[in-house]
Every structure is written in structure tokens, then in C-alpha cells.
Amino acid sequence: MARYVDSALSAGEPILYDAKVHWAIFLQPFFRLWLYAIFVGFFYFFLGSGLLADISAALARKSSLSWAHLLSPILISIAVFCLIFGLSFLSAIVYYFNSDFVLTDRRVLSKFGLLSRTTSEQRLSKVESIHVYQSLIGRLLNFGNVTITGTGSSTTTFGPMADPIACKKAIEEQLDKERDRSGRDV
């Protein structure tokens, strides 16, 4: 199956820079998983003491204690845990494999989405500014977001992309070539 950007390019329009989504997008699901595990741990530590007291009392009396009474809160937590992690991870996979950001000699194109599609295209002649945002972790792992602002209120944002500074430099080089060409044509 061909990518959207390949079908959107004009004849003779070469791809000069093809940005990739950085693998750090998968850190967010693991971070959510970690926070949930901490939350559940505190929940069982503080509120689960009643459950532990029930178990201790039942063992002291040597009475029967149903496994359903013991396992239901744990199973519910595991199910919620798997649902949160699964949906976050699935969302990251869909974004990772279904996002494109391409610079050509004429324009910048971006595409997001699997079932529904959002696209943005800006002619290089209309680009006014390029913004790069990198968090501390983004700087350490070399990823960030690039936002291109055009005339009017048009913006194209892509990220987290690998090596956003190289992307910014590639766009600036192409903008310089575009301005040199338009300056000579006048």
C-alpha cells in the first residue's frame, strides 16, 4: 500500500527530507503503565489493609475464605491495567506507522491517521517561521516537534520526530534556495 505523500506528489517533485516518528512515542504508554502500577500499589497498601485484615482474621479462625473475595479486586485491577496499557500502546503504534512528514523542493506535507486522515500542505513560498520544541528528554534522546507557520494562520506540526534540528536545517536550506530562485526570476 502506497503512502499518502507518494500519491500527493506532483511529477518531478523530489522528496528532500522524509521525517520519521521517533521511537520515544512508545515511552508514554510505559509511563502511564508505571503511574498506574504506583497508584494501584498505594491503593492496595492503604485501602487493601482491610482485605489483609479479613484474610488474617479468616486464617486465625480457620474459617473458609472464598477465592472470589480475594481475587476480584486483583483481577479488576489487572484488567484495568491491561486496558490502559493496551489502548495507549495501540494508539502509539497507529500514530507511529500512519504519520508522514515530507519536505519537497516545493512544499511541506504532513499526514496523520489510519481510519480518518488529516493532511496539511504548505508551499515553501508561504512559510514564515519554523519552530522546534524539545523537552529535556527530547534533547537527551534527540527528538522533538517541528511547527511550520505560514502566511495567515496556517500551521503544520509534526512530532515527536527524530532529529528535529536536521529537519529544520533542511527546510531552511530549501527556503534559501526558493528565495534565491524567486529573487533571480524577478
Per-residue pLDDT reduced to its tens digit, 61-96: 655 555 555 556 666 777 777 888 888 899 899 999
What average pLDDT does the segment 143-169 reach? 89
pLDDT tens for each residue of 109-130? 888 888 888 888 888 888 889 9
Domain annotation for the chain: domains and CATH numbers: 16-186 (2.30.29.30)
- Packed helices 67-97 and 49-61: angle between N→C axes, nearest 10 degrees: 150
- Separation between Cα atoms, residue 35 and residue 56, nearest integer Å: 29
Q: 105 — phi, psi (to 5°)?
A: -75, -5
* Closest to 5 measured CA to CA, from 144, 98, 123: 98
pLDDT at 67: 54
| Lowest-confidence pick of 21-25, 35-39, 103-107, 167-171 | 35-39
CA distance 8 to 109: 9
Q: Where are the alpha helices (DSSP H) in the chain?
A: 4-8, 27-46, 49-61, 67-97, 136-141, 164-185
Calpha distance 158→143 (Å, rounded) = 11
In the prediction, which pLDDT does 186 show? Answer: 43
